[in-house]
Chains A and B, each alone.
Chain A
Amino acid sequence: MKTFLEFFTFQNPNVVYVVLGMLFINSSSALIGTFAFLRKRSLIGDAIAHSLLPGICIGFLFAGDKNLVFLLAGAFVSGWISIFLVDYIVNHSRIKQDTAIGIVLSSFFAFGIVLLTYIQKTGNGNQAGLDHFLFGQAAAISRNEILLFAVIFVIILVSVIFFYRSLILISFNPEYAGSIGLSVKFFEFLLTSLTVLAIAAGIQALGVILMSALIITPAAAARLWTHNLKKLLVLAVIFSVVSGIGGAYVSYAKSGMPTGPWVIILLSFITFFSISFAPKRGIVSRYFIQINNKKKITDENILKTIYSMFEKDEHTTPFSSVQLTSVRSFDTRTLNAGFNRLIKKNLLEKKNELFSLTEFGAQESKRIVRLHRLWEQYLLKRTRVDSDHVHSGAEAIEHVITPEIEKELERELGIEGMPKDDY
Chain B
Amino acid sequence: MNDIFILLTASFVAINAALLGAFLILRKMAMVGDAISHAVLPGIVVAYYFSGNKTSVFLLIGATLSGVLATLIIDFFSKKAKVQSDAAIGITYTLLFAVGMIMISGWMQGNADIDQECVLYGDIALINMDKIMIDDNLYIGPRALYVELIAALIIGGSLLFGFKGFKLLSFNEDYAKALGVKTNRWHYYLMALVALTTVVSFEVVGAVLVVGFLIIPPATAQLVTRKLPAMLFFAALFGVVSVVTGYLIALWLDVSLTGMMVTVAGVIFGIIFTIQRIMKSSKPKLVIEFPSTK
Contact = CB atoms under 8 A, between A and B. Distances in A.
Interface of A: 37, 40-43, 45-46, 50, 89, 92-96, 98-103, 105-118, 121, 131, 134-135, 209-210, 212-213, 215-217, 219-220, 223, 256-258, 260-262, 264-265, 268, 271, 275, 281, 283
A304 B215 CA distance: 59
Interface in B202-240: 208-209, 211-212, 214-216, 219, 222-223
A37 B260 CA distance: 33
A210 B98 contact: yes
Interface stretch (B23-31, B45-53, B139-147, B150-158): B23-31
Contacts of B148: none
Interface stretch (B87-95, B164-172, B178-186): B87-95
A256 B99 contact: no
Contacts of A260: 98, 101
Nearest to A275: B81
Contact of A220 (B30, B83, B211): B83
Interface in B274-293: 276-277
A98 B99 contact: no
A111 B259 contact: yes
A208 B106 CA distance: 21
B283 to A, nearest CB: 15
Given A37-B87, A111-B266, A261 B273 contact: no
Given A37-B87, A121-B255, A257-B105, A103 B98 contact: no
A283 B76 CA distance: 11
Contacts of B276: 93
A213 B170 CA distance: 29
Contacts, number: 199
Interface in B109-133: 109, 116-117, 120-121
B87 A110 contact: no
6 contacts: A37-B84, A43-B31, A96-B28, A106-B212, A213-B98, A216-B87
Given A106-B266, A209-B97, A216 B91 contact: yes
Closest 4 CB pairs of A and B: A107-B266, A110-B262, A106-B212, A113-B259
Contact of A265 (B88, B98, B117, B223): B98
Contacts of A261: 97-99, 101-102, 105
B250 A114 contact: yes
B33 A102 contact: yes
B102 A258 contact: yes
B258 interface: yes
Contacts of A106: 34, 208-209, 211-212, 215-216, 262, 266
Given A89-B273, A110-B260, A98 B102 contact: no
Given A117-B255, A265-B99, A275-B77, A102 B30 contact: yes
Interface of B: 25, 28-31, 33-34, 38, 77, 80-84, 86-91, 94-95, 97-99, 101-102, 105-106, 109, 116-117, 120-121, 208-209, 211-212, 214-216, 219, 222-223, 250, 253-256, 258-263, 265-267, 269, 273, 276-277
Contact of A258 (B83, B105, B215, B216): B105
Contacts of A45: 90
A99 B90 contact: no
A45 B90 CA distance: 9
A258 B109 CA distance: 12
A110 B209 contact: yes
Contacts of A40: 84, 86
A121 B99 CA distance: 31
A121 B209 contact: no
A220 B30 CA distance: 21
Nearest to A43: B86
A111 B246 CA distance: 11
Q: Which of A101, A209, A265 has the most CB of B within 10 A?
A: A209
Given A102-B34, A110-B263, A264 B258 contact: no
B273 A93 contact: yes
B103 to A, nearest CB: 9
A275 B29 contact: no
Contact of B211 (A95, A102, A281): A102
Contacts of B262: 106-107, 109-110
A98 B21 CA distance: 13
A95 B21 CA distance: 13
B120 A113 contact: yes
Nearest to B294: A94
B29 A257 contact: no
Contacts of B83: 220, 223, 275
A42 B33 contact: no
Contacts of A105: 34, 211
Nearest to A99: B30
Given A99-B30, A107-B263, A258 B89 contact: no
Contacts of A98: 28-31, 86
Contacts of A111: 259, 263, 266
Contacts of A281: 82
A115 B256 CA distance: 8
